[in-house]
Amino acid sequence: MNIRLARVTDYETLKKIKPSISDRIIEERLSRQEEGKVEFMILEDNNEPVSFVLLKWEGKKTHPEYPDMEDLYTKGEFRRKGYATLLIKECEKRVKEKGLKKIGMAVNPDKNSKVKVFYEKLGYRHDGGKLYVDAVYNGVEDWVIDLEKEI
Ligand SMILES: CC(C)(COP(=O)(O)OP(=O)(O)OC[C@H]1O[C@@H](n2cnc3c(N)ncnc32)[C@H](O)[C@@H]1OP(=O)(O)O)[C@@H](O)C(=O)NCCC(=O)NCCS
DSSP secondary structure letters along 53-106:
EEEETT-BTTBTTS-EEEEEEE-GGGTTSSHHHHHHHHHHHHHHHTT--EEEEE
Does 107 contact ligand 1 (Cβ within 6 A)? Answer: yes
pLDDT (tens digit, 9 = 90+) per residue, 26-84? 999 999 999 999 999 999 999 999 999 999 999 999 999 999 999 999 999 999 999 99
pLDDT value of residue 90: 98
Does 137 contact ligand 1 (Cβ within 6 A)? Answer: no
Task: Tell me the CA–centroid distance for residue 118 and ligand 1, in Å.
Answer: 7
| Residues 127, 59 contacting (CB under 8 angstroms) | no
DSSP assignment of 127-141, as one string? -SPPPEEEEEETTEE
Ligand 1, closest atom to CA 73? Answer: 39
Q: What gap in Å lies between CA 70 and CA 68, rounded to an integer? A: 6
Does 54 contact ligand 1 (Cβ within 6 A)? Answer: no
Does 87 contact ligand 1 (Cβ within 6 A)? Answer: no
Report residue 5: phi and psi, to 5°.
Answer: -80, 145
Give this prediction's pTM.
Answer: 0.97
Task: Tell me the CA–centroid distance for residue 106 and ligand 1, in Å.
Answer: 14
Q: Where are the domains of the chain?
A: 2-106
Q: How far is CA 118 from CA 71, 114, 133, in A?
A: 15, 6, 21
The amino acid sitting at 11 is Y
Ligand 1, closest atom to CA 50? Answer: 7
Does 82 contact ligand 1 (Cβ within 6 A)? Answer: yes
pLDDT value of residue 138: 86
pLDDT value of residue 74: 98
The CATH number of 2-106, from 2.40.128.720, 3.40.1160.10, 3.40.50.720, 3.40.630.30, is 3.40.630.30
pLDDT value of residue 141: 97
Ligand 1, closest atom to CA 75? Answer: 39
Please state the rounded mean pLDDT for residues 89-100.
Answer: 98
Q: How far apart are the first and last CA of the chain?
A: 24
